[in-house]
Structure 1
Amino acid sequence: MDSILTISSTVFEQLQKPTLAFLIAGMLLAALGSKFEIPDPVYKFIVIVLLLKVGMSAGISIRDADLMSLVVPALGAAIVGIAIVLLGSRTLARLRGVSTVDGLATAGLFGAVSASTLAAGMAILDDGGIAYEGFIGALYPFMDIAALVTAIVMAKLSSARRAAPEVSINSDGTLAAGGPRTGAAPCEDTDNASLVRGILVDTFRSPAISALLAGLALGVLAEPDSVYKSFYEPLFRGLLSILMLIMGMEAWSRFAELRKVAHAYILYGMIAPLIHGLLGFGVGLIAHELTGFSAGGVVLLAVMAASSSDISGPPTLRGALPEANPSAYVGTSTGLGTPVAIFSIPLFIALSEVLI
């Protein structure tokens, strides 16, 4: 009973924090039909600044980080990203009314990471005085890229299998449909390898990943401490509050898109972030036992797992899987997945207080 009361009180307190309050305010503005809007160039500028800040913060911290302390959480992040896609391929992608490609695209988006949700988690931990590893932002690309690549490759292979004619040779020498193709494996291996290379290149070239990796490289290889402290750090919370307003309005507007697709997506969008977050939390606990990974780090790994990409994922999927329905994967992610993930942050904080 005491644990339930602790979790409940923590959740209530976190809902009053600025980050979540601005998200709720954005949803209310959209629900009331407000004409308030942020120009798209301003939105992109905010996202790039936040990602550069997160990347530089991680890079500066990596300089003095113990290699093993970073490797174990990074490996865990990649495993979680892949596991989320595989789980989605066995659940959502097999439900009635859900095509395999749409299901895998949605799972890929949920396996990838929302930089804004990660930033929100960092802000909430900072407000609560909860310490976490400075290199936590460096875990973002490991989970993000692993999930997107896994989802896109699985979807491409699934489409190729359905489209390719399956031919077998009968005993009399005639051809018959329905059997396995002969001599196709080398070609398939070559095509798959080229596909994976192309996906990796596109992912690394995406604006979000590029900004994050640029900030990471600057933090590790250069000395951006002065500009980081005088420009990026002071602007972080103010820009994040504006981003939360935008995300709240976007989340509300996406609810309408979900009416066009199967109800399975609504169920997935509400439940998956919690399951994924608990999966990330469990991997974080393993890292905690092996390397002393902090309680705050465990929470942020859970937040990354619970989040669904709202920046790098959609354009990557749209370019790699044009046949997938954006109303399905973007609507589910932004309309349900993102708010559920952000509102679950207090839950993971409370769990860390009870278990660590």
Structure 2
Amino acid sequence: MDILATIASTVFEQMQKPTLAFLIMGVLLAALGSKFEIPEPVYKFIVILLLLKVGMGAGISIRDADLLSLIVPAVGAAFVGIAIVLIGSRTLARWHGVSKVDGLATAGLFGAVSASTLAAGMAILDESDIAYEGFIGALYPFMDIAALVTAIALAKVSAARQEMSDVNINADGTMKTGSPIPPKLSSGDGDNGAMVRAILIDTFRSPAISALVAGLALGIFAQPDAVFKSFYEPLFRGLLSILMLIMGMEAWSRLSELRNVAHAYILYGLAAPIIHGLLGFGVGLIAHELTGFSAGGVILLAVMAASSSDISGPPTMRAALPEANSSAYVGTSTGLGTPVAILSIPLFIALAELLI
């Protein structure tokens, strides 16, 4: 009963936090038939500001870190982010009735990192007097960007292959596809490698990933601290709340699409944080053996892997994959994944005490 009470309390706390609270309010507004709307140009401007801020903050963290000590855990973090998306592409994205793009968008958010869950993990370790590296916060962009780019690229590759397979022969002998094939992919050379390269280039050129990478580069190579603190940080939470209202209204309009496959997302949301966290813990152990990465660092790498993005992920997915159902990926990651990830932190602490 104590465990159930703890779960219920954690879920209730998450529902009160701005990210989920504004999302739920957007759902309620749409359900009540409200005419509230945010113009598309304003929405795009908000997304660019948010992603520039996330990238810049990550770049500043990396710039201030000890790069030699950072390299091995950073490579491990990127590997974990990519691996989580690949696991999702073989499980949730192949579930009967689950849209491929919805499954990959959800896996992308689970591969990305929740800054609030990472902060909760740090607070718990501080209370338990468990030491960890000062650069640990700089690891999250490696996992975050690797997972988001992988998920978006896989979704676009899948969509392109589907379009190229939907070819019909007209009466005059010409070919007709179900939807237009992007020029870069319609050369007819059958080169899957060329198609993948073209989609990767297109992904990095997309507004969402471009803004994220631009912010990261500015944070690392420039000195944007003053404008970051005076402009981006004060606006961040307010802009994110508006974005969540928009996504909540969209989620309501597409909720009916999930009725027959809701159980798949529930199972994934409950099981994935534990599996992903154990994967992160294993990679952390390797870094521990190679570089002396601390027990606290191993625990926090597991926490990052268990978490699912509530800040950078939703706007990135919405901008890069507008066809994906936000009811699926935001509801599963924030509504289920975050509480499970937070509740799993004691498990990773216990494992560290046992193995390190």
TM-score (structure 1 length as normaliser): 0.73
Identity among equivalent pairs (%): 40
* Partner Cα distance (2:159, 2:39) in 1: 34
Q: Decide whether the 8 Å contact of 1:269 with 1:336 is kept in 2.
A: yes
Q: Of the candidates 304, 318, 335, which is equivalent to residue 343 of structure 1?
A: 335
1:122 paired to 2:115: yes
Q: Decide whether the 8 Å contact of 1:250 with 1:334 is kept in 2.
A: yes
Shift of 1:270: 3.8
1:137 paired to 2:138: no
C-alpha change, 1:211 and 1:242, in structure 2 (3 Å) is same
- Aligned residue for 2:236? 236
* Partner Cα distance (2:37, 2:304) in 1: 30
* Partner Cα distance (1:108, 1:137) in 2: 19
Structure 2: which amino acid aligns with 1:80? I
- Aligned residue for 1:56? 56
User: C-alpha root-mean-square deviation of aligned residues, in Å?
Assistant: 3.6
Q: Decide whether the 8 Å contact of 1:57 with 1:135 is kept in 2.
A: no
- Aligned residue for 2:30? 30
Structure 1: which amino acid aligns with 2:305? L
- Aligned residue for 1:86? 90
* Partner Cα distance (2:143, 2:319) in 1: 21
Structure 2: which amino acid aligns with 1:214? A
**Which string of whole-angstrom CA distances, capped at 9 and with x for unpartnered residues, describes residues 22-74 of structure 1?**
22222222222222222222211111111111111111111215111211111
1:196 paired to 2:189: no
Q: Decide whether the 8 Å contact of 2:106 with 2:330 is kept in 1.
A: no
Structure 1: which amino acid aligns with 2:71? L
**Which string of whole-angstrom CA distances, capped at 9 and with x for unpartnered residues, describes residues 66-88 of structure 1?**
11121111111111111211224
Shift of 1:297: 5.0
Structure 1: which amino acid aligns with 2:199? I
- Aligned residue for 1:211? 211
**Which string of whole-angstrom CA distances, capped at 9 and with x for unpartnered residues, describes residues 304-328 of structure 1?**
379996544466568xxxxxxx4xx
Q: Decide whether the 8 Å contact of 2:274 with 2:306 is kept in 1.
A: yes
Q: Which runs of 5+ in 1 are unaligned?
A: 165-186, 319-325
Q: How do 1:63-82 residues align onto structure 2 when only pairs under 5 Å count?
A: 63=63, 64=65, 65=67, 66-82=70-86
* Partner Cα distance (1:310, 1:334) in 2: 8
**Which string of whole-angstrom CA distances, capped at 9 and with x for unpartnered residues, describes residues 232-275 of structure 1?**
1111111122222222222112214x18xxx5544434433444
1:109 paired to 2:102: no
- Aligned residue for 2:175? none
Q: Decide whether the 8 Å contact of 2:110 with 2:333 is kept in 1.
A: no
Most deviating of 296-305 and 221-230: 296-305
* Partner Cα distance (1:114, 1:238) in 2: 24
**Which string of whole-angstrom CA distances, capped at 9 and with x for unpartnered residues, describes residues 194-238 of structure 1?**
101111111101111000000111111111111111111111111
Q: Of the candidates 259, 264, 268, which is equivalent to residue 264 of structure 2?
A: 268
TM-score (structure 2 length as normaliser): 0.73
Most deviating of 196-205 and 125-134: 125-134
SS at match of 1:42: helix
C-alpha change, 1:196 and 1:352, in structure 2 (3 Å) is same
1:277 paired to 2:273: yes
* Partner Cα distance (1:272, 1:306) in 2: 17
C-alpha change, 1:306 and 1:273, in structure 2 (3 Å) is farther
- Aligned residue for 2:153? 149
Q: Decide whether the 8 Å contact of 2:51 with 2:312 is kept in 1.
A: no
C-alpha change, 1:230 and 1:141, in structure 2 (3 Å) is same
